[in-house]
């Protein structure tokens, strides 16, 4: 499968590397077709890896991952263009983090909105699925880094897109316990977990943790 990745940071690289390892062709998109980080990833990864602009990645991918910093996600997606995004599933793993407070980033969205909703409003013909944003990027692409089943959440307006993504995160990344929270407005809940996640990270001294919903 051809997959487009938006973002060249550690999250984008984690997804891009894993997906190439699984045999997919991945184009890492950024503002520039010659982005230095993307070029280094392509050189290191080899077969199956390519780079381009955000628009290049959007047109290349049969499915897309938003791995940009939440503060610039909408700018990146506008650079990709509504036409290139139209009809495609966009898995949004970003969080709207802003300036630090007591050494930890804060959320920039108010409680009555979310980045997932803002993306869906801006691109109504794109099938936005919010998921994988409540864990560290190493866990995002490999649930088995922690023992047993632990919980992943999902939000989105398109039931077929969510069913597809549920199967994808299970087959590709090993996620078994996936809870569909409902439409894209429920992304407020998962994005709102970030202040707790950051404080748990500080208290535990590691990013390798997750929650399990026991029912």
CATH of the domain at 134: 3.40.50.720
DSSP 157-188: S-HHHHHHHHHHHHHHH---EEEEEESGGGHH
Which three-class secondary structure state does DSSP give residue 34? coil
Please answer whether residues 57 and 29 qualify as being in contact, where contact means their C-beta atoms are separated by less than 8 angstroms: yes
Provide the residue range defining the domain that includes 105: 2-204
In this structure, is residue 213 part of a structural domain?
Answer: no
* Calpha distance 34→23 (Å, rounded): 24
In this structure, is residue 212 part of a structural domain?
Answer: no
State yes or no: pLDDT of 8 exceeds 90. yes
Please answer whether residues 119 and 73 qualify as being in contact, where contact means their C-beta atoms are separated by less than 8 angstroms: yes
In this structure, is residue 210 part of a structural domain?
Answer: no
pTM: 0.95
**Per-residue pLDDT, 145:** 97
**DSSP H or E run through 92:** strand 89-92
Our count of domains for the chain comes to 1
State yes or no: pLDDT of 110 exceeds 70. no
* Calpha distance 92→81 (Å, rounded): 16
Alpha helices for 46-114 (secondary structure H): 54-60, 73-80, 82-85
In this structure, is residue 211 part of a structural domain?
Answer: no
In this structure, is residue 18 part of a structural domain?
Answer: yes
Residue keyed to tokens 């099938």: 127
In this structure, is residue 215 part of a structural domain?
Answer: no
Q: What is the pLDDT of residues 35-79, one digit of tens each?
A: 999 999 999 999 999 999 999 999 999 999 999 999 899 999 999
């Amino acid at each position: 499968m051809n997959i487009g990745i938006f973002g060249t940071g550690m999250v984008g690289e984690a997804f891009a590397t894993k997906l190439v390892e699984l045999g997919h062709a991945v184009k890492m998109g950024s503002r520039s077709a010659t982005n230095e980080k993307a070029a280094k990833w392509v050189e290191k990864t080899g077969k199956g890896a390519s780079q381009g602009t955000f628009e290049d990645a959007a047109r290349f991918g049969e499915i897309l991952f938003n791995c940009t910093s939440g503060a610039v996600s909408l700018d990146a997606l506008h650079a990709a263009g509504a036409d290139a995004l139209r009809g495609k599933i966009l898995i949004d793993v970003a969080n709207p983090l802003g300036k630090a407070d007591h050494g930890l980033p804060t959320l920039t969205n108010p409680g009555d909105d979310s980045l997932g909703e803002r993306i869906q409003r801006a691109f109504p013909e794109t099938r936005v699925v919010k998921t994988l944003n409540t864990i560290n990027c190493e866990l995002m692409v490999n649930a088995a880094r922690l023992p047993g089943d632990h919980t992943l959440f999902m939000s989105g307006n398109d039931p077929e897109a969510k069913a597809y993504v549920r199967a994808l995160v299970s087959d590709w990344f090993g996620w078994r316990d996936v809870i569909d929270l409902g439409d894209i407005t429920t992304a407020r809940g998962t994005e709102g977990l970030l202040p707790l996640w950051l404080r748990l990270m500080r208290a535990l001294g590691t990013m390798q943790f997750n929650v399990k919903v026991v029912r």
